[in-house]
Chains A and B, each alone.
Chain A
């Protein structure tokens, strides 16, 4: 039986030839057959839904409950740093730098969670979380800080007053505190690089200045994926920053990657049905030793070490788990990997009409002949006409407006892109365009295009095939 709450994958499956990938169509019969289910079946259904729930939480919610991999040192560094802030009232500033998906936020959340559980720390730390995508200028950021600190100029949940007043108020508040008596404040600036673009970097200057002077103890933690972040800071802001940088690099090798794969898939010890968990975990162990699976993982690992893409791969594979197919197989993973790495633009080509394919081939020839120079519709139409008149046996000679329509469809699919915005003056036929497909993509797409006429295929292979 297929559980109704089956997790849907983040990435839509490109090919729907696999019937199992169509949840909606299968819904009805499974509900119908439910009554006839045997006792054991119901039990396994329960298990499957449990498994799906666990996996979904792991892969979709990037929660702090997930484990950290290969960042013990950074974890210790950050924990010590924040502990000193809360316990000793020492001001600090640090940046956590790492590529997207390297676990910056996860690391911070982990540290904060562990910190909050410590006895010396409890209730002794004010947290202010800012995000560069939300607080797009210092005015908004200041209001948000004031709101999160619940200072006295906050009414309900709103902060009033002008930017200048708010800044003066906040600075005055922070200036009045001192190391031993004020509650330490932790500022977390997510997407730190966006704060750098604020006018004069006023907010950063002030935060770092406070962290370097005998005022309220603050710790400023910035999270960013930009390696050149220090070059973006203005020199006096940079001087005030303590230059503490914590790098997260995904610096694990393939063996560890396999281990991570196993940990991510295996069920926890507290799973209700122990025998099922045992079975599942054994299967995961087998999978990790399977050559085919290792190839899939190796391929992904070569592409990216980002754990999020591993999650999306496992998500695709995990969604195939049903009552009738309770355990993952190597084939599932291979299929998922195939979907995961399909070319999105080439996939669009599969759904085009023959006329549209012909136009694309014409464009491909034009691009090759003119060495990447842009073309317009008239040129494409002429090329197409040449093919029709000289070579085509199976193709019907469409009228120009029909061809134009097909061309516009390609434009909408963004397989073709105009060089400049279409203006009222320029005629549509003469707008300069560029093809957004590589010739290898077109050839690959034609290979799998169903019922492609042979003469079109030949034409695609060589622009001179009609000679």
Chain B
């Protein structure tokens, strides 16, 4: 542990060592104490507690139960946990097995064996509640800190969901109970999440105090800005430290808290906020923060370590507590509800029906959404009305705040692209969606419904649009004849059952990835080959097989990400796409780079291996080559678990365009795909045509030989065959048998490969031909392959006299010249030079002569 961390959060053992193993030099403990030095707050987490663990995605911590705590030989604090998994961690295709809707607070008892249950103790964030429920049981509706309570109904073992076994169920129940006992009995360390209403009360006191000072809603907005700025600060610090546990922002927040528990709550609240506007850049108002700090200091009159506040809370009259709880629930429930949804929205691949539900709910829950913002204005139960009013007033302010955060987070030159939604309220006219779900919400509401309700304050949100092409109205016809069937199979897009002629390469790549997967390490492989040699197809085939193997549990599961340099607008967009694939976050390129670096450099306990395909690698080249550098640097890090398959056209790309440090990181695992030989091409075609007698054997061979001689591009071969079937079909109308013969294939080849120039010259008009002749004559005279129009003109006039034609005017010559220039038979200068325009031939003189002589 380094000192930097110690200054922020200290993890120390709680209680005495339970047992120790001399041999392994490990010692076990019953609890861990997390102390934040600056705020002097402490949290104790004991065995059997449920905890949140830092995850891949900063917004989505993992849930686990603490099973064991020990210190290993190297004095590292370790923890053994029993995982619970969120719905998002379950593979897409398996989610259907649930057959019910899952709330964001529901987790599954994780029985997948492949996850590492031994984690570093420093990754523990805080403790939470996990309540076991029976399958049929409803979720308890009213709960206080909903953020910190999870429910478990079923277990997940990587294949299917099971009802919790009675044994587990009772264990979980027991753990909860035990915890409760500990909580009550412990005199100094109270886990943060006991359902004490005092938190709320103290909080509301604080807020009412604030209110009395500045009774306007100005505070409101300032508060929210300061909050978001804090969130941002915390976030940026996280990012800057590039580490798992640097909750400096949390420390800051705890400054505000009169008691530990309060600090906790605020902390998690901000964490919650972090979900939504994690990169919001709201203008920081120093006065607001300052005032706040000062104020909390006043309140902080009670020393934080004194537990009397808690005792006091217990003595609060029962009725008041009831009321308090009720009003809280009243105010909180809509807020959390929407939050649930927004959280869910992050998960892009949610079931459609849920999402559409969100779409309908959104407008109706607009106003309630705002209430939590104003809850500090109500200290007593009677203040519910005031809250409502203020929230109404607040709406504008708040919305504009969220708007600014949105616009600044959007990258590139988006600002001028803001749609001006035709709304009456000019202030809120630039808002995209409800504030809570403005970020990365993928609510798949049909655009139409949104358009219908612009008055309800739901602006049309291009953000939420589904990328979809309309469906066709009439059904596509299936192939009717043998030739049509053949054509369908010969289309490049048709996916063959197997990839013939690439077995060796397939096996090499498969072995490479498989070995890395089993070892749980990272690595790079560079694959090169000219276009159309099956590089991408082979790699995809490998991935498909690996995925199948992973599904059959022969291999550890992995994540598969693909990026294509040609499909990026800018090399740096690669980061954005990778991050979006991995975590579903949408952030700017620079931010994504930082997040990814963090992700791949830290040991994620539950992270799967990532297989990343980088197609068209050469386009990721930048002047500083930082994109390539980063890509190839990650796999070399110890905990990255990243396998990169880089694909490009040229064999010597690493030597040619990469800097030494990039090329060195790429390593020497290379593979090059040779162009197909004619036999291979023949095999490819005939394997696709298996069972369809549409081609003569010789015809296929002719195509294969022709293509192999030219480029060895399988796409070309298939295209020619496809064209040959079309030609055959046209010819068939004259009652010839429908089989593609040599003649058809020859015609198709000629069509594709014949030089267009000769034909173009032969079909040119007489004067155009004479002009070309004049050019040749001038070239021969001058001995230079370039001439001005004026020079050519003299030859031209002479040639016309020989041919007995009326010699054309200069304007006509210029017209001819520019016509030939437009076809690129000639290369000409800009035409404003008129007679002094220089002219060159775009093809060899021999070609011109050949084309002109034939007639």
Contact = CB atoms under 8 A, between A and B. Distances in A.
A307 B576 CA distance: 52
Given A90-B491, A235-B530, A124 B472 contact: yes
Contact of A227 (B446, B484, B719, B756): B756
A242 B531 CA distance: 13
B427 interface: no
Contacts of B573: 164
Contacts of A206: 566-567
A302 B766 CA distance: 5
B472 A304 contact: no
A184 B835 contact: no
Nearest to A295: B806
Interface string A286-316: 0000000000000101111110000000000
Contacts of A245: 751-752, 756
A99 B418 contact: no
A438 B412 contact: no
A342 B809 contact: yes
Nearest to B472: A183
A388 B189 CA distance: 117
Given A152-B466, A227-B756, A436 B834 contact: yes
Most chain B CB within a 10 A radius of its CB, from A152, A159, A341, A434: A152
Interface in B702-747: 711, 713, 715-716, 719, 722-723, 726, 730
B567 A167 contact: yes
Interface residues on B, range: 35 or more
A80 interface: yes
A346 interface: yes
B476 A179 contact: yes
A251 B462 contact: no
Interface string A137-159: 01100000000010111111011
A451 B669 CA distance: 87
A236 B767 CA distance: 39
A447 interface: no
A329 to B, nearest CB: 22
B763 A250 contact: yes
Contacts of A437: 835
Interface stretch (A211-219, A317-325, A354-362): A211-219
Contacts of B763: 249-251, 305
Interface residues on A, range: 35 or more
B474 A124 contact: yes
B43 interface: no
Contacts of A240: 531, 715
A181 B472 contact: yes
A174 interface: yes
A417 interface: yes
Contact of B616 (A171, A236, A304): A236
Contacts of B842: 228
A15 interface: no
B447 interface: yes
B775 to A, nearest CB: 16
Contacts of A249: 759-760, 763
A233 to B, nearest CB: 11
A155 B752 contact: no
Nearest to A159: B462
Nearest to A166: B569
B692 interface: no
Contacts of A154: 462
B810 A168 contact: no
Interface of A: 76, 80, 87-91, 97, 99-100, 120, 123-124, 126, 138-139, 149, 151-156, 158-164, 167-174, 176-177, 179-185, 200, 202, 205-206, 209, 212-216, 225-228, 235-236, 238-240, 242-245, 247, 249-251, 299, 301-306, 341-346, 372, 414, 417, 434, 436-438, 440-441
Given A124-B474, A171-B567, 12 more contacts: A88-B484, A152-B467, A160-B462, A206-B567, A227-B756, A235-B531, A236-B566, A244-B719, A244-B751, A306-B819, A343-B812, A436-B836
10 contacts: A88-B479, A99-B760, A99-B823, A161-B462, A172-B467, A183-B469, A250-B763, A301-B765, A303-B815, A345-B834
